[in-house]
Chain A
Amino acid sequence: MASDVSDLVSDVSESVERIGRRVQLMEVCGTHTVSIFRHGLRSLLPEGLRLVSGPGCPVCVTAQRHIDAAIELARRSGVVIATYGDMVRVPGRCGSLEEQRGAGADVRVVWSARSALELAVRHPQRPVVFLAVGFETTAPATAAVVLEAVRRSVENFFILAAHKLVVPAMLALLEGGSVPLDGFLCPGHVSVVTGSRAYAPVVERFSIPCVIAGFEPHDIVRAIAALVRQVEVGEARIENLYPVAVTASGNHVAQTFLDRVFRVCDAPWLALGVIRESGLELRPEFEWFDALPRFGIELGADVDSPACRCGEVIQGKVMPEECELFGAGCTPLRPVGPCMVSSEGTCSAWYKYRAAMPVHRRPVGTKQPMGPVGLKLLTEPGMCAQPARGSRS
């Protein structure tokens, strides 16, 4: 396998040299981000190739207003919050769900939407709110359990609908025009659901090559080689290098679930603002499940920490180390921004694997610690009351 990869790397290096300028590719999938770090792929690739991580980590793109709403829900008496693990540490304006849990809120980590529903079935007297975040990968599962909740007449199951769609975000980045990009390494899992044709607007409107890749290191390097080849010959095509799982039109069953339960809506993204038709909201016939009106909560404003540069990181505008907080005020132990929280977040992966070798060979702690920064300044007096203590069951 190593020889496959080294052959591909040689192809990439030669191609980049012939192109004669820096080639910048963006991956939009947290699993790709982590795989690139974990397998040390950056250390193999030529200097003239820059990989930037786009908005591909579900936690990292979740807008402040949704995090704050989740925390507000957690503070309501008797409410059980069911959430994927990496959401619990994301800081909102009033601390994180983890902190709410410490103060008595009932926050439980689940591994699937289904286990959130089962939680509701086991505790019929408690309202269970599932934090429905993630892209086209997790959204069909949410849709499926909403339908199942209808079928089983589960009346205490609700969702905070914050699912997002990947392609509209890619288009918004390109429309913004502030990030020079030569190609997208497209997410394998999302593409299983959407199909490879979903990237047509990217190649047709912006002439940016799109290559869909699996998750093994050689899959990723092969996709990078394919992207660089397209750049070199001036092409912009969709290439599906994950044909074992991805078809042109995607998974129809998943799409049907999505379409029955959700409709496309404008959605707020962390630091990217509201992107047209980039999110999913419950259809009117499933409004029963919407936790926000159920608990009388309105989404607030998105006030991002001024010092945190997660927004620029997920747009590929800056590398994590260019953020003043990185490794000093913001670490995986005390994250300021979501990119440092999620295991798939760019900053977290960058911190954990210390980025490319040998450029970033610096021991931990060479920056002066700055202490907690930013978020507290945004807190208004009295807005962060302690949660009502619900009875634990």
Chain B
Amino acid sequence: MTRVQAHARSVERIVRAHGGGGELMNRFLVDHVLVRLGNAKLNELTDGAVLESPTARLVFTTDSYVVQPLEFPGGGIGRLAVCGTVNDLAVMGGRPLGLSLGLIVEEGFELDRLDRLLDSIAVAAGEAAVDVVTGDTKVVERQNGDGLYINTAGVAALDDSVQLGFAFVRPGDAVVINGTIGDHGLAVLSVREGLEFDTTLESDAAPLNGLIQRVLGAGVRVRFMRDATRGGLAAVLADVAERSGWSVEIEESEIPCRPATRAAAELLGLDLLHVANEGKVVMVIDGDDVERCLSVLREHSYGRRSAAIGRVTDSQPPLVELMTRVGGRRIVARPYGEDLPRIC
């Protein structure tokens, strides 16, 4: 048996053999992965999972997670890896059937820390009521990775009744969001850069499939949904305008936002509309369904601060316009990359 520990008091770490396909890898899978994420399909440790499809149409998505730092207030790479992929399925209207989990671990990574991240994956998957049904582990040489990268893919069932897309968006529709913006991006940034604020900023990372299914189940006529991740609310709305051919008008005063998050963004010179979220869905819905939608959203723990923030108009050319708190108007553009913090 390979002893990973050099001596009794040292930290147990990932070595190349953990990804080598041999006994050490097998023990890692059983003692660290299955013990946390195990289920009938995963426990088989076969080359793939067999899923029963309840619908003719399926949604299939994948995403890779390379966030630094790996852990931050309100989440970590494990929680993100579940929520991000579940949300991509959910905003397509899908009900997740299973996730894959690909771990790319850097040699020397502490096993305790990996356990903690696997725990967070288990918690998030539990919240989303979806199993990790297949997976893969690779170990890369020291210095060839930032500790841990994760890839998850997911498959979801899509009911025939669900018809979503830019093409369904029309003037008179309303734009709804399920809570405060900017929390995730600023939480990660504040930890990454060692910024200290009076209040701890927490990521909003959350699986939204339950919330979204309730809205669809309540008969709200949803035209289009997207989770406002990188690029923030601005990127989603810019896509809506560009791809639907209609303009979007939003009210700054209606956009939910925590004062601490706003203050942090102002301090760093960042535009909150551009900051990433990991638990926010932007919905374009029939203008007559706003009240019903908001009441369903607000009943859910991930939708307490839901708000109608704007509307689709027939103004041409198609642009996103923000009515500012002081009554001004400006255009909201898609950010070009990551906003750089300012100097003074």
Q: Which of A301-340 contact B (CB under 8 A)?
A: 331-333
Whether the pair B330, A354 counts as a contact (CB closer than 8 A) is yes
A89 touches B340 (CB 8 A): yes
B40 interface residue (CB < 8 Å to A): no
**With contact pairs A6-B327, A39-B326 given, residues A58 and B195 touching in the complex (Cβ less than 8 Å):** no
Residues on B with beta carbons closer than 8 Å to the beta carbon of A89: 340
Q: Are A40 and B343 in contact (CB under 8 A)?
A: no
B336 near A39 with CB under 8 A, answer no
A247 close to chain B: CB less than 8 A: no
Give chain B residues whose Cβ lies under 8 Å from the Cβ of A146: none
Residues of B within 8 A of A86 (CB): 340-343
CA distance A188 to B333 in the complex (A): 28
A interface residues, tally (CB under 8 Å): 51
Complex CA distance for A41 and B252, rounded to whole angstroms: 14
A58 contacts B333, CB within 8 Å? no
A332 cross-chain contacts in B, Cβ below 8 A: 336-337
A219 to chain B, nearest CB (A): 11
Instruction: Tell me whether A279 is interfacial, beta carbon within 8 Å.
Output: no
Chain B residues within 8 Å of A351, by CB: 333
Given the complex of chains A and B, what is the CA–CA distance between A138 and B331 in angstroms?
Answer: 31
In the complex the two chains form, is B321's CB within 8 Å of A357's CB? yes
Least distance between B116 CB and chain A CB atoms (Å): 26
Contact with B along A335-368 (1 / 0, CB 8 A): 0000000111000000111100100011110000
Q: Is the pair A34, B322 in contact by a Cβ cutoff of 8 Å?
A: no
Expressed in whole angstroms, the Cα–Cα distance for A43 and B330 within the complex equals 8
Q: Specify which of B321, B329, B340 lies most central, judged by the most chain A CB atoms within 10 Å of its CB.
A: B340
Q: In the docked arrangement, what's the CA distance between A39 and B329, Å?
A: 7
A31 within 8 A of B: yes
Interface flags for B311-344 (1: CB within 8 Å of A; 0: not) read: 0000001110111111111110100110111111
A41 to B317, CA, bound (A): 22
- Contact (Cβ within 8 A) A40 B330: yes
Contact across chains for A357 and B343 when beta carbons are under 8 A apart: no
CB distance from B106 to the nearest CB of A (A): 15
B269 within 8 A of A: yes
Q: How far is the CB of A319 from chain B (nearest CB, A)?
A: 16
Shortest CB distance A132–B (Å) = 11
B329 touches A40 (CB 8 A): yes
Complex-state Cα separation, A352 to B340, whole angstroms:
13
Q: Which chain B residue lies CB-closest to A37?
A: B330
Residue of B319, B336, B341 near A363 (CB, 8 A) is B319
Q: Flag if B326 contacts A221 (CB, 8 Å).
A: yes
* Chain A residues with CB under 8 A of B337: 332-333
Q: Is B160 an interface residue (CB 8 A)?
A: no
Residues of A within 8 Å of B329, CB to CB, are: 40, 43, 357
Bound-complex Cα distance A30 to B269 (A)? 10
Least CB distance from A390 to B in Å reads 15
Question: Which one of A85, A134, A189 contacts B341 once the chains associate, using CB atoms below 8 Å?
Answer: A85
Judge whether A84 is part of the interface by a CB distance below 8 angstroms: yes
User: Judging by beta carbons under 8 Å apart, are A357 and B330 in contact?
Assistant: yes
Q: What 0/1 readout, one digit per residue, does chain A (1-36) give for beta carbons within 8 Å of chain B?
A: 110011000000000000000000000001100100
Q: Which residue of B has the minimal Cβ distance to A41?
A: B328
Task: Name which residue of chain A comes closest to B328, CB basis.
Answer: A40
CB contacts under 8 Å to A, within B295-320, are 317-319
* Given A115-B194, A344-B342, CB of A5 within 8 Å of CB of B330: no
Contacts of A191 in B (CB 8 A): none
A218 beta carbon closer than 8 Å to chain B: yes
**Contact indicator A59/B343 (Cβ below 8 Å):** yes
Interface centre among B317, B321, B333, B342 (most CB of A within 10 A): B342
A44 within 8 A of B: yes
Contact between B343 and A38, CB atoms less than 8 A apart: no
Q: How far is the CA of A343 from the CA of B269 in the complex (A)?
A: 8
Contact of B326 with A189 in the complex, beta carbons under 8 Å: no
- CB <8 Å contact, A5 and B344: no
Taking a contact as CB atoms under 8 Å apart, the answer to whether A353 and B342 are in contact is no
Contact of B340 among A38, A85, A115 (CB under 8 A): A85
Are B319 and A343 touching (Cβ within 8 A)?
A: no
6 examples of A-B residue contacts, CB within 8 angstroms: A2-B325, A39-B330, A86-B343, A134-B343, A217-B324, A217-B328
Which 9 interchain pairs have the tightest Cβ spacing? Answer: A40-B328, A40-B330, A85-B340, A137-B344, A354-B331, A5-B326, A217-B326, A40-B324, A84-B343
A contact residues vs B (CB 8 Å cutoff): 1-2, 5-6, 30-31, 34, 37-44, 58-59, 84-89, 109, 111, 115, 133-135, 137-138, 189, 215, 217-218, 221, 331-333, 342-344, 351-354, 357, 361-364
